Amino acid sequence: MKIVLLNPPFKPECGRFSRASRSPAITKSGTLYYPIWLSYACGLLEKNNHEVLLLDCCADQLSLDKTLNEIENFQPEMIVLDTSTPSIDSDVACVEAIKARIPNVFCCLVGTHPTVLTYEVMEKSKKIDAIARHEYDMTLVEVAKVLEEKGDLSFVAGLAFRSGNEIICNAERNYIENLDELPFVSKTYKKQLNIRNYFFAAGEFPMVMIMTGRGCPARCFFCVYPQTFHGHGYRLRSAKNVVDEFEYIVKELPEVKSIGIEDDTFTANQARVREICQLIIDRGINKKINWWANTRVNLSYETMKVMKKAGCRLIIPGFESGSQEILNNIHKGTTIEQSKVFMKNAKKTGLLVHGCFMVGNKGETINSMHETLRFAMELNPDTAQFFPLIPYPGTEAYEWAKENGYLKNIPYNQWLTDDGLHKCVLDLPDIKSEELVGFCDFARKKYYLRLPYILYKMKQSLFSAQERKRTWKSFKQFAKYLAK
C-alpha cells in the first residue's frame, strides 16, 4: 500500500513549527524536533512492505498548496497526519483539503490531542476517517493490512474510526514491549529526511534524535507524553540494540555531530545507563561522536562520570522551580538540595547542563517566580529555558486548571501567538497569563545578558569550533527576541 506520513504545514510563513516538541511551537531559539513518532511508524510500515513517503512540511516550510501537490503526485491510499493541540484546527482543515483533491484516500490522525479528545476531534469534520490513539506504530500496520484486504476495522486495537454516522472506539492497544523489534529511526531519517533541517539549541549541529525506551516512571503533573501517549512504565531497548544504532549513525551519517536521546528520563534506570555507556566505550564510539539525554536530578555522580567518559556532552534536567512547595505540588519527586548536588557533580565531571524552569504551577506567586529565577542563577547551567505552564488536555495540570477556572476559554488556535510562539492560557488568582509570559521573557534576558555569562560563552566558543557554531546559530534566532 502507498502511504503518506504527514507532518502537516502550520504557519510556514512565520517559521518552522516544532510539532513533536513537548510544547509545540515555533521556537525563539530555532529548535526544531524531528517528527520522531512518525519516523518510527514509517520504519515499521516499510518493514511490512508498504511504500511510504514521510513528508515533513514544517521542516521544509511547505505551504498547504505545495503539500497537496506533493501528496497528489504520490497518489497514496492512506494518509496519516500528525497533530498537536495548538494546530489541531489547521490539521483538520488539512484533512479536508486533502479529501477535496483525493476523495477516496483514508485519512487517519495521530498525536496526543486526538488521543485524549477523540470524539471532539472526529466531530470537527466527517472527512476524518480514523484516529490511531496513543502509541500508534503497530496500529497503523494493522490498519494498512485491513484496508488492503478490505476487512473490518472493528478488530484493530487502539483505533477509533467512522462507520457511517457512528464513531466507534475500539479497545485499547497494549504497549509495545519488545522495542528491539522496531527499525532504527536513524535509518528513516537517512532515507526520508534532510537532517540539516533539524536543530536543538543546546546540542551540536547537525544532530539526530533517537529513543532508547518509551514511557516514564515519574509522575510530574504537567508532562504530556507519559500521561497521554506512552504511559508510566519505562520499556527499554536492550543496551546492545541502542549501541548498535549509535554505531550505525557514526558509519552511515558521518556528518552528524551529536545524538539526542529523547526518552523522557533516560536515567530512570541508572544501571542500564552504565551498561550502555560501557558498550559505547568498548566499541570506541565515544571517540567519534557525542550525545545528550534527558535526566532527573537524582542522577548519581558515579553514573555521570561514566556518561562523560562514554561521550555524553550534555544532560537536561527539569529543575522546574526554586520552591520546594511547588515541586511537591506538581509531584516532581525531587528536592532543591538534590538539584544543587546535581549541578555540583555535573560541573565536577565536565558535563554541560540545559536547565528547564517553569512558572505558573500550582501554588505559584510573584515571589516564588523570582525565587525560581534566583535559583536558576545560583545553579548557573550552561543554558536555561523559562516557560509558563501549558496545561495540555489529558494531563493532571489540565484538569487542575479547568476545575479551578484558571484555563482561559479560548479556541486552540489561540494557544500560540499569531506568529506561532509560545504564550500562556492560564489566569491564576493573583497572576495573569500576560504576567507569566512577561516574566519568562524577563528571566531569559536576565539570565543570558549577564556579563559573566557572556564572557563564559565567548571563552567556550573560542576553544571549540562546534560550540561556536552551535551558539552562533542559536543566538542569531534568539537575538531578535532578546532585543524586544
Helix axes 270-282, 239-252, angle to 10 degrees: 40
Question: Where residue 464 falls among pLDDT bands split at 50, 70, 90?
Answer: low
Determine the average pLDDT of the residues in 116-135: 97
What is the amino acid identity at position 368? S
Cβ neighbours of 353 (radius 10 Å)? 23
pLDDT tens per residue across span 391-426: 999 999 999 999 999 999 999 999 999 999 999 999
The DSSP result for 443-464, as a single string, is: HHHHHHT-HHHHHHHHHHHHH-
Instruction: Kindly report, residue by residue over 247-292, the tens digit of the pLDDT.
Output: 999 999 999 999 999 999 999 999 999 999 999 999 999 999 999 9
Q: Given 3.40.50.20, 3.20.20.70, 3.30.590.10, 2.60.120.1360, which CATH number is that of 200-448? A: 3.20.20.70
Per DSSP, the three-state class of 214 is strand
For the range 322-329, what are the long-range contacts, defined as Cβ-Cβ under 8 Å and sequence gap of 24 or more? 322/368, 322/371, 322/372, 322/373, 322/374, 322/375, 322/376, 323/363, 323/368, 323/371, 323/372, 325/363, 325/368, 326/361, 326/362, 326/363, 326/364, 326/368, 329/221, 329/361, 329/362, 329/363
Phi-psi region of 331 (alpha: psi -120 to 50; beta: other; left: phi over 0): left
Q: What is the DSSP string of 233-280?
A: S-EE--HHHHHHHHHHHHHH-TT--EEEE--TTGGGSHHHHHHHHHHH
Q: Could you tell me where in the chain the CATH 3.20.20.70 domains are found?
A: 200-448
Q: Where exactly does CATH 3.40.50.2300 map onto the chain?
A: 2-169
Adjacency order of strands within the sheet including 312-320:
207-210, 258-261, 290-295, 312-320, 352-359, 383-388
Q: What band does 452 get if pLDDT is binned at 50, 70 and 90?
A: confident
Average pLDDT, the chain: 94
The one-letter amino acid code at 226 reads P
Give the Cβ contact number of residue 305 at 10 Å: 17
Cβ proximity of 71 and 6 under 8 Å: yes
CATH number 3.30.230.10 is the correct assignment for the domain at 2-169:
no
Res. 463: pLDDT tops 70: no
User: Looking at residues 196-222, what average pLDDT do you find?
Assistant: 94
Query: What whole-number distance in Å separates Cα of residue 398 and Cα of residue 389?
Result: 10
Do residues 265 and 218 lie in contact, with contact meaning Cβ atoms separated by under 8 Å? yes
DSSP string, 200-213: -TTS-SSEEEE-SE
Whether 31 contacts 15, CB under 8 Å = no
Contact 351, 313 (CB under 8 A): yes
The C-alpha angle 186, 188, 194, rounded to 5 degrees, equals 85
At residue 456, the pLDDT reads 82
Nine cell digits for residue 279: 558498550
C-alpha grid cell, residue 411: 479556541
Q: How many CB atoms lie within 10 A of CB 340?
A: 15
Cell of 304: 555521570
